[in-house]
A and B are shown apart, each in its own frame.
Chain A
Amino acid sequence: MRPASLAQTGQCSAGWDAGPLWRALTWCGVAQTTETSLRRTPLYERHAAAGAKLVPFAGWEMPVQYSGIREEHVTVRRDAGVFDVSHMGQVETRGPDALPFLQRMLSNDLRRLPEGGAQYSVMTREDGGVLDDLFTYRLSECVFLTVTNAANHERDLAWLRSHAADFDVDVIDAATQFAMLAVQGPRARSLVHALSDGLTPSRMRCCERTVAGAGTLVCATGYTGEDGVELLLDPTAALEVWDALLAAGAAPVGLGARDTLRLEVCFHLYGNDLSEDRGPIEAGLGWCCREQTGFIGSEAVAAVRANGPAEKLVPFVIDGPGIARQGNPVVGGGVVTSGTFSPCLERGIGMAYVSPERAEPGTRIEIDVRGTVRPAVIERKPLYRKGS
């Protein structure tokens, strides 16, 4: 299952060209979808047996909660939780032109992405509208693995392929080759390490390991604001690894807590905070845009950066009772794109697009929550800090 050329250090560069581990595997773990049916991950039976509430999400039947969102949320902040995020898609880009191709397609500077590294970026249209936000892992000099949002995967793939003709590159739909488990929390790393044949990678790095007997790409990334790793593995091994993680003490956590965790630390959710109608500068993602690389949309992004965006995405906390939700208008202009109850702050939090003059931390705004005006205060990112 594992290529022989693996480095055994904490920051290995995985020998992906030497052993096409993922490609050689015949994948058969996930139920095939039809137009009308929801897809299920290899762990569906585990979720159902554990009494999880299962809901449709981006065409998948996914666990939204097990014991309860608040309890699961706090477990990830204090201990360790494991999320089944196998609905997320993967695109493998390989070939001599993989780097220049992705440099054209993604907003960040791929030259700064070392082998065994991870990098966040957005993919934009010519007009700067955001098509997706993505993590890309560089598996070797000429092999990259990019994780897509489930709802965007097919569109991303089509967009990438439609621009690949001028490059010597293969754009491979790898979504069916991987199950994906996110192990997050202060104890996540030690828990995975104890099941693994080597150290976990340092933050924003990835490497290949055997975890609970399964060949796994271990990525030190996440969506919770906690330390932890994301595991990419053969779907047929997902059950075994899931069971081992739970036996080692990780609590199963659903997509409900995934959303509250990410919103407390102001990570974007595509479809809420990001869309084709919004650019990365207004979304506060200018830090992952390197316009000098000439990516598709870079001119539009540069123009917005130079002239200032019409609106800015800012985090807010409700001052008093109430919870703003996605779509609630900001009085006087603007809209809430994500809103929830924060289990750690124990109040309503969210993110909203507002005019730049109202985007400064400390600015007081009012949000129309289904007819009731709720006062709120613009805050700095992140809304939750360790120990707060």
Chain B
Amino acid sequence: MPDPSYPDDLLYHPEHDWARVDGDTATFGITWYAQDALGEVVFFDPPKVGAKASKDEAYTEIESVKAVSDVIAPLSGEITAVNDALAENPELVNDDPYGAGWLVQVRLADPSETQSLLSAEAYEAMLE
């Protein structure tokens, strides 16, 4: 497992999710803290492409050996891609939570929603 990290180029949701925003699209994943709390991820059942994600609401689940956890959407939008690599290698979420362990890509419904998300610094302060 990598050391704790919270990259500066991401936006964070208090439910331990991150968003990498690029114009009107974004990639979602869970933070280092979330994957550490969950333990080894053994199953990710991706949402369907075309499904809607609503900010602050669960859009999928992720499972470790012992626990099932809802994954909260940091922003609203339509899911345009899911990380198919996680079907075979769900542990990528632990090994590389901000890279190969991404969960979904979305077309944002309202890019201004990003204003309510946390910076890396603010999120880390919240974890203290």
Chain A residues with CB under 8 Å of chain B are 53, 64-65, 68-70, 256, 259-260, 321-323, 325, 340-341, 343, 348, 370, 372
Indicate if B43 sits at the interface (CB-CB under 8 A). yes
A325 pairs with B43, CB closer than 8 A: no
Centre residue among B39, B45, B64, B65 by max chain A CB count within 10 A? B65
B39 pairs with A65, CB closer than 8 A: yes
Indicate if B87 sits at the interface (CB-CB under 8 A). yes
What's the least CB distance linking A126 to chain B, in Å?
36
Q: A341 and B63 in contact (CB under 8 A), knowing A65-B39, A69-B40?
A: yes
Chain A residues within 8 Å of B51, by CB: none
Chain A residues within 8 Å of B64, by CB: 69, 341
Q: A68 and B68 in contact (CB under 8 A), knowing A321-B87, A323-B63?
A: no
Q: A64 and B66 in contact (CB under 8 A), knowing A256-B39, A321-B45?
A: yes
B42 pairs with A341, CB closer than 8 A: yes
Which residues of B36-79 are within 8 A (CB) of A? 39-40, 42-43, 45, 61, 63-66, 68
A341 pairs with B45, CB closer than 8 A: no
A260 pairs with B45, CB closer than 8 A: no
The tally of CB-CB contacts under 8 A between chains A and B is: 41
Chain A residues within 8 Å of B61, by CB: 370
B65 pairs with A370, CB closer than 8 A: no
Give Cα A69–Cα B63 distance, bound, in whole angstroms.
13
B45 pairs with A322, CB closer than 8 A: yes
A323's contact among B40, B43, B87, by CB below 8 Å, is which?
B43
A323 pairs with B39, CB closer than 8 A: no
A325 pairs with B68, CB closer than 8 A: yes
What's the least CB distance linking A217 to chain B, in Å?
31
- 27 inter-chain pairs at a CB distance below 8 angstroms, sorted by A residue, are A68-B1, A68-B39, A69-B40, A69-B65, A69-B66, A70-B40, A70-B42, A256-B65, A256-B66, A259-B66, A260-B65, A321-B43, A321-B45, A322-B43, A323-B42, A323-B43, A323-B63, A325-B68, A340-B65, A341-B43, A341-B63, A341-B64, A341-B65, A343-B65, A348-B43, A370-B68, A372-B45
